[in-house]
Amino acid sequence: MAPDALVRLDKVSKAFPGGVVGLDTVDLDIVMGEFLTLLGPSGCGKTTSLRVIAGFESPSSGNVLLEGRDITGLRPFDRPVNTVFQDYALFPHMDVAANVGFGLSLRKLTGAEQAKRVREALDMVGLADKLRARVSELSGGQRQRVALARAIVCEPRVLLLDEPLSALDAHLREQMQVELKRLQSRLGTTFVMVTHDQTEALSISDRIVVMNKGRIEQIAPPAMLYDRPATRFVASFIGTMNLLQSRFLGRDGERLHFAAGDLPLEATSDSGETPAAGDMRTIGVRPEDLLVAGEAGEGTAPARVSGVVFHGRTLRLHAELGQGTPIVIDAPRRADGSQFGVGDVAYVSLRRGANCPMLSS
């Protein structure tokens, strides 16, 4: 167990009836005070992991530890853990104060202390003026904040969030992401969030756990996950990535030289592997790391444009290299209005200094 780990999943597996594997020997340390996000497609095991930590699911094997203490057998309400659910699970017949204070009502606190804690929690989420409002009178964003206040009022060691922003519209969702991160920093509480939204995960997490088929593919801070994905799955799931089958040409210091058809590429390898000359490897190239020109030049390869998508300041070009290899390029929009169109030939090159990982399977 890491010295600063608050929660540890120790070789945790979960099998459901019918042989469905929810988790497959998962090892995970959650550091005290961090904002950790479990990210992946539906059925990858992220929600199952959250429910195992909360105590709503019992692992088929393995243990859950909190500060080194085995809590695997503890019931949910005996764990210093609170959960914010996707649907908020508020009581419609209660006002905001009663919803937030519900958990405190089960504790041996005076009425004055309960009221004080409720007011403080609502102040933290910016709803001090909604103390006596009915739940039905609140907007979606306000209900989400009430659910957060109800979770933090009991001062849990770990706060679990199960896709807490999924019911909000895009603008409010972005606003709440900022507020959620600000709240976590202010409290210093360990937050563990589940989401399938990679943009959300990248924008507010200290670390991200990418899961696939019940296993962890990679754990890393957002920038490292984006720049140095460890596997093909992570590369294809996080952002947009060209996965180019490339022939190894040679090595120059830390730079590995490849060719994807006629397109020269430089790559890095975290494993330190040096392929044999002529070996094929998958190289990940981000669309923003590719340049396009109207004429051939050194280090360029021709690509025929098959589609153009407007992305604000950039245009996303869908094109094909020789032998029909698809490639996606983000090109800045030109002020004079001249752009590549469908059927045009663009000459593609790799941006100098681009970090292109050599990916494992």
Q: Among 198, 217, 235, give the residue marking a domain's end.
A: 235
> Is residue 44 domain-shared with residue 118, that is, in the same domain?
yes
pLDDT 10s digits, 100-152 = 988 787 777 788 888 899 999 898 888 889 989 998 888 888 888 888 888 88
For residues 121 and 253, state if they share a domain: no
How far apart are the C-alpha atoms of 86 and 64, rounded to whole Å?
23
Please give the average per-residue pLDDT across 151-176, as a whole number: 86
Dump pLDDT digits (tens) for 70-88.
999 999 989 999 998 887 7
Q: Are residues 25 and 137 in the same domain?
A: yes
Residues facing residue 311 across a β-bridge: 314
7-20 average pLDDT score: 94
pLDDT at 361 > cutoff 80? no
Do 180 and 115 lie in one domain? The reply is yes
**Rounded distance between C-alpha atoms, residue 244 and residue 264, angstroms:** 11
> Is 71 in the same domain as 200?
yes
pLDDT in tens, 320-353: 998 889 999 999 887 766 688 999 999 999 999 8
User: Which pLDDT tens digit goes with each residue over 186-213?
Assistant: 889 999 999 988 999 999 999 999 999 9
Tell me if 100 sits within 8 A of 123, measured CB to CB. Answer: no
Whole-number pLDDT of residue 337:
62
Tell me, letter by letter, the H, E, C secondary structure of the chain: CCCCEEEEEEEEEEEECCCEEEEEEEEEEEECCCEEEEECCCCCCHHHHHHHHHCCCCCCEEEEEECCEECCCCCHHHCCEEEECCCCCCCCCCEHHHHHHCCHHHCCCCHHHHHHHHHHHHHHCCCHHHCCCEHHHCCHHHHHHHHHHHHHCCCCCEEEEECCCCCCCHHHHHHHHHHHHHHHHHHCCEEEEEECCHHHHHHHCCEEEEEECCEEEEEECHHHHHHCCCEHHHHHHCCCCEEEEEEEEEEECCEEEEEECCEEEEEECCCCCCCCCCCEEEEEECHHHEEEECCCCCCCEEEEEEEEEEECCEEEEEEECHHHCEEEEEEECCCCCCCCCCCCEEEEEECCCCCCEEEEC
At 317, is the pLDDT very low, low, confident or very high (cuts 50, 70, 90)? very high
Question: What is the pLDDT, as a whole number, of residue 336?
Answer: 63
Q: Between 140-152 and 111-124, two packed helices, what is the crossing angle to 10 degrees?
A: 130
CATH number at residue 321: 2.40.50.140
Q: Is 209 exposed, middle or buried, given 0-12, 13-18 or 19+ CB atoms closer than 10 A?
A: buried
Number of separate domains in the chain:
2
Choice among 24-28, 157-161, 169-173, 329-333 with the minimum mean pLDDT: 169-173
- Residue 50: give the domain boundaries: 5-235
168 and 225 in a common domain = yes
Band (171; pLDDT cuts 50, 70, 90): confident
Percent of the chain with pLDDT over 70: 98
Q: Which of 235, 265, 294 is the C-terminal boundary of a domain?
A: 235
Would you say residue 97 has pLDDT above 80?
A: yes
pLDDT for the residue 15: 95
Q: Are residues 230 and 244 in the same domain?
A: no
pLDDT tens, position by position, 245-295: 999 999 988 889 999 999 999 998 877 788 999 999 999 999 999 999 989
* 327 shares a domain with 303: yes
pLDDT for res 204: 94
With b meaning 16 or more CB within 10 Å and e meaning fewer, what string describes 304-334?
A: ebeebeeeeeebbbbbebeeebebbbbbeee
Whether 230 and 277 map to the same domain: the answer is: no
Looking at the structure, tell me whether residues 225 and 203 fall in a common domain: yes
CATH number at residue 204: 3.40.50.300
CA distances, 242 to each of 272, 321, 356 (Å): 22, 12, 10
> What pLDDT score was predicted for residue 175?
84
Write down which residue in 203, 235, 267 finishes a domain.
235
Compute φ and ψ for 167, nearest 5 degrees. -85, 0
Stronger pLDDT, 132 or 4, i.e. the higher one: 132
Cβ contact 361:273 at 8 Å: no
Query: CA 272, 274, 280, 285: dihedral to nearest 10 degrees?
Result: 50
Does 282 share its domain with 151? Answer: no
Contact of 282 with 303, CB cutoff 8 Å: no
Q: Is residue 228 domain-shared with residue 151, that is, in the same domain?
A: yes
